Structures are given as C-alpha cells and as structure tokens.
Chains A and B, each alone.
Chain A
C-alpha cells in the first residue's frame, strides 16, 4: 500500500467526529448552532455600549469617575468568561479506538454469556461502587465506551462530555468539567453587571429628572429606556440561573443529575461525590485543578510526516498516536438500531478490514465544519506505510 503524499498538514481537529465546529485552526471549539450565542454577544455588547455612551459621561462628571471604570472592568470580565466558556473544550471524551472498542465488546460478551437466539441481550451496564454507593455506568453506543461516572452524551454535539452539566445555547457550547467554573463565573458576573447597569440607569434618570424633568431626560438619553428593558428581563433569568447553579455547586451536583433526580434521596440514594460540606464542595468545583483537554485538537495527523508538533494552550504537547476515532463496527448497534441486532466479534473483525481497503487514497480535506457524524458509516483513515 503506497503512501499518498499530501501537500497540506492535517491537524487532528479536522478528523474529529462529533458535531462541533472548530475555528482558528483548532484553537476554538464550539457547537454547530451559534445563532443564540451571537444574540448573547449582541445583547451584552449592545447594552454596555449604550451604557457607556449615554449614562457614563453624566455619571462620571456628576457622581464619580470610578463608575464607568468599574463597569468597564466588569464588562471585560464578563466577556472573558463568556468567550472562555464558549470556545473551550468542555471535557469531551474521545471515542474508543477500534482495539479498545473490541476489547470492551469482548468483556461484555464474556460477562453476558450465551444469550439464546431471539432473546434481548441484557443492557450494557457496569456497576461500580463509589464511596459506598452503587453507581451504574452506561455504555455509549456512539462513542463505544462505558461512560465514566457523571459523564453524559450530548446529542446536540454528539460527544460524551465528562461531568456533563447541560448544553447551553446561549454560550453555544456544552458545559462540562473543563468549563463549568467559567460558565458559573460568567453567570455571576453577568448578574452583577446587569444589576449594576440597572441601578445606575435608575440613578441617572432620577438625577437628570431633578434637573430637566422626566420626559426630557428620556428624550436626551433614549438609550436608557432600552437598557432598562433589557436589564429588567435579563435580571430575572440570569440571577435565577446564578442562584440555581450556586445551589448545585454547594451540593456538588450537575444540572443533568438534578433534572434526572439521580440523588434526590429516594431509595436511600445519596450523592457520592458530595463532601457533605458546602465550603468543600464549592472549593472543589471552583478552585479545583484546571483539567487538561484530552482531545489533541492541534496535533498533526501522522500520515506522512513522522513529526507531530503541538503548540496549543489547551491540549497536551506529547508526541501522540493519531486519533483514529472513527470506527468501523457496522454490527455494533448505536442508539438507533434495535436491541436485537446483536453484534458478533467475528463479524466485526471480518468486516473491519474490507472498508479500510476501500478508503485507500488520501483523505479529502474536509470543510471547516466538523466531519461526518455517523460513526457507523465512517471509515478508519489509514496511516499508510
């Protein structure tokens, strides 16, 4: 099999499965639907611009110049947190390579024994004991792994995310282990910013009305009306959200667990991850270590060049094996195939080589949007030699 020379270095993010979009050559990772994220940006930047344009000159002169300065700092912090939440890897778990997937399949077969024909195979669950609590680990048919505890598969991004909280359309990304603290700080700082702008809008209107009358004030600074409206409606939702997440953090729970009622207390089920101490829980979530990304987005695919350089802030800099996260196991069911289509190891082993042989020429360079998501039909890209 001769290697086909490619003229362009292909980075691993281009071959990652899942429905993410990548920008800046793999440095930025977001979900596909970004419309609501642009709305968030527009609302924040728009409202703050109006504040700086209409209120700040008056307040800086008549009250204190510290007011616009503090507003600017708060605005910058909000933007930094928003961008950090939106652009970072939430803690995506890479899909199992073929050997690992088959190894797991063999373990499952061994555990299940011989299921008589026509009977449904038992569900793929592994029980682990965490702090004297039995936790069920479910098998992800798309990623071909047993999900670690607290991980969940996001159907919008088509990835398993570690410590999955929720998929937030406002930030255009999943919220998971790696970006939860940034998300929380974003909601907290946005609440503060909203309250700040709302308060000083009112102060400004009151002060100006004393001099010029209420209606004249509104005519002079029309932006104020808009700001007050936006802030009023934002306040309830964002402050509510911040309060909700503060509650979750103090109990060391995720939104996903809260919605499913995993640790609601019935059947004597208790949260095994909680330290039973609010301060400890908060410290773990907010001041814990900064977890690295296990998706090596900016590594080079080792197709021709043996060297692989990585220079990103978020991914590891090791000389790594290329991630062949696409798997050929046509008979291993995914979430959409019926349970009674049971795979057999021999079949999958036999079928595995033939699709590989079809895909011999150099891979077509995909567009910047993420590659195909159907793991069943995708083919292992060869590192031909």
Chain B
C-alpha cells in the first residue's frame, strides 16, 4: 500500500501548480504572470496570462491608495472605526468580485480543460493554485480507501 500512496502523492503533487507572488513592486498583492511549464499542455498561455493579469488588476484596485481610500480611512477614524461594523470595506467588496471572477473563469475556461483555480485568499494570499480536476476525482477514490489528503475533495465539489 505504501508505494502506491507515495506514487499517488507525487502524481497528485505534480498536478498542483502554485503561482507565487511577484514582489518586484513592493508588498502590494500581485502574482507572477510567468507561464509555468507544467501547464503547457493543459491551457493556452494567453488565457492563463489574462486570468492572472485580471486578478492582479483587481488586487491593485483594492489596494489603491487614492481619494476613495483616504475618504474611507478618515470617515472610519472619525467614527472610531465603528462604521466597519455596518459597512463593508472597499477591499472586501473587491474580494467578492474576485471570488465571482474566479468562479466564472473556472466554469467557462478551466473546468472544460480539467483544471481548477483556488482563490488566493484561501491560501493566505500567498499563491494562486491551479490543479488538475480530473486527477482529483481519481485521488478521491483512494481517499475513500483510507488515504486522506488535504482539501482535494472539497475543491472538486466546489468546482461542481
């Protein structure tokens, strides 16, 4: 059983790709747009880059320091930040947009190619993970036979 689990584990690992953060412009949330070699056969480069660039734009919008963020900050300070109990922050609004966008992308583009994107907020905003959905289903069969692996099953059902 042990070598099978090991093979299973490394096979499943090979099908999870983590896109890391791009810190070249500081600590603002931005992900690397470099196309990983593991996804070469699974998805077109342009689609991948579009997705990551759109995500980066969303995060840039959320973290933009400008008139609106000053206004929000000053208003919140004046009310001793109690206003955040009733009002949603701009960042939270953008996060909801991001979640919707990722779901849309999964449904339209990635699921037909057997892939699945996980929202970065579930990984502490450290990575965007792309995983192979079909192998997840296969992995789940061995889960029911005793192998437990973190989060795979939920991500498959989430894709559905």
Residues of chain A touching chain B, judged by Cβ–Cβ distance below 8 Å, are: 1, 76-77, 80-81, 84, 93-94, 96-100, 102-103, 106, 128-131, 135, 137, 145, 148-150, 163, 182, 185, 272-273, 283-284, 286-292, 294, 296, 302, 306, 313, 316-324, 345-346, 349-350, 352-353, 356-357, 380, 382-385
B119 touches which of A94, A145, A163, A318 (Cβ 8 Å): A318
**Contacting pair A77 B121 (CB below 8 A):** no
**Contacting pair A103 B13 (CB below 8 A):** yes
Contact with A along B55-87 (1 / 0, CB 8 A): 000000011110001101110110011101100
Q: How many whole Å from A168's CB to the nearest CB in chain B?
A: 18
Residues of chain B touching chain A, judged by Cβ–Cβ distance below 8 Å, are: 2, 5-6, 9-10, 12-13, 16, 18, 21, 23-27, 62-65, 69-70, 72-74, 76-77, 80-82, 84-85, 89-92, 95-96, 99, 118-119, 121-127, 129, 140, 143-151, 153-155, 157-158
What's the Cα separation between A51 and B131 when bound, in Å?
A: 62
Q: How many whole Å from B129's CB to the nearest CB in chain A?
A: 7
**Contacting pair A380 B150 (CB below 8 A):** yes
What's the Cα separation between A345 and B148 when bound, in Å?
A: 18
What's the Cα separation between A349 and B147 when bound, in Å?
A: 12
**Contacting pair B157 A130 (CB below 8 A):** no
A290 touches which of B5, B91, B149 (Cβ 8 Å): B91
User: A103-B18, A135-B23 known; A356 and B126 CB under 8 Å?
Assistant: no
**Which of A93, A98, A349 has the largest number of chain B CB atoms within 10 A?**
A349
Q: How many whole Å from B111's CB to the nearest CB in chain A?
A: 17
B24 touches which of A129, A145, A317, A385 (Cβ 8 Å): A129
What's the Cα separation between A320 and B158 when bound, in Å?
A: 9
**Contacting pair B124 A294 (CB below 8 A):** yes
A93 touches which of B26, B69, B73, B126 (Cβ 8 Å): B126
**Contacting pair B153 A313 (CB below 8 A):** no
**Contacting pair B124 A94 (CB below 8 A):** yes
Q: Between A and B, how many residue pairs show CB distances below 8 Å?
A: 167
What's the Cα separation between A267 and B140 when bound, in Å?
A: 53
B25 touches which of A97, A131, A182 (Cβ 8 Å): A131
**Contacting pair A289 B89 (CB below 8 A):** yes
Q: How many whole Å from B125's CB to the nearest CB in chain A?
A: 6
Set of chain A residues within 8 Å of B25, measured between Cβ atoms: 130-131
B157 touches which of A84, A288, A289, A306 (Cβ 8 Å): A306
Look across to chain A and name the residue whose beta carbon is closest to the beta carbon of B12.
A99
**What are 23 sample pairs from A and B whose C-beta atoms fall under 8 A apart?**
A93-B126, A99-B12, A99-B150, A106-B13, A128-B24, A130-B24, A272-B26, A286-B73, A288-B69, A289-B65, A290-B73, A290-B76, A292-B92, A294-B125, A296-B122, A313-B85, A318-B99, A319-B158, A324-B150, A352-B9, A353-B146, A357-B148, A383-B154
User: A99-B16, A290-B72 known; A80 and B123 CB under 8 Å?
Assistant: no
Q: How many whole Å from B72's CB to the nearest CB in chain A?
A: 7
**Contacting pair B23 A149 (CB below 8 A):** yes
**Contacting pair B81 A182 (CB below 8 A):** yes
B27 touches which of A81, A98, A150, A321 (Cβ 8 Å): A150
Set of chain A residues within 8 Å of B158, measured between Cβ atoms: 319, 321
User: A283-B70, A321-B158 known; A288 and B27 CB under 8 Å?
Assistant: no
What's the Cα separation between A316 and B125 when bound, in Å?
A: 12
**Contacting pair B74 A100 (CB below 8 A):** no
What's the Cα separation between A321 and B131 when bound, in Å?
A: 14
Look across to chain B and name the residue whose beta carbon is closest to the beta carbon of A103.
B18
**Contacting pair B81 A148 (CB below 8 A):** no
Set of chain A residues within 8 Å of B10, measured between Cβ atoms: 345, 349
Set of chain B residues within 8 Å of A81, measured between Cβ atoms: 80-81
**Contacting pair B150 A287 (CB below 8 A):** no
**Contacting pair B26 A287 (CB below 8 A):** no
Look across to chain B and name the residue whose beta carbon is closest to the beta carbon of A129.
B24
Set of chain B residues within 8 Å of A320, measured between Cβ atoms: 119, 121-122
User: A106-B13, A289-B90, A380-B150 known; A84 and B27 CB under 8 Å?
Assistant: no
User: A148-B23, A318-B122, A350-B2 known; A291 and B154 CB under 8 Å?
Assistant: no
**Contacting pair A97 B150 (CB below 8 A):** yes
**Contacting pair B18 A380 (CB below 8 A):** no
Look across to chain A and name the residue whose beta carbon is closest to the beta carbon of B9.
A349
B154 touches which of A77, A302, A318 (Cβ 8 Å): A302
Set of chain B residues within 8 Å of A148, measured between Cβ atoms: 21, 23, 27, 126
Set of chain A residues within 8 Å of B63, measured between Cβ atoms: 288-289
**Contacting pair B27 A385 (CB below 8 A):** no
What's the Cα separation between A380 and B149 when bound, in Å?
A: 8
Q: How many whole Å from B73's CB to the nearest CB in chain A?
A: 4
Task: Given contact pairs A102-B13, A292-B121, enumerate 15 new A-B contacts (beta carbons under 8 Å).
Answer: A80-B82, A98-B150, A99-B13, A100-B127, A106-B13, A163-B27, A287-B73, A313-B85, A318-B95, A321-B154, A350-B5, A353-B5, A357-B148, A385-B140, A385-B143
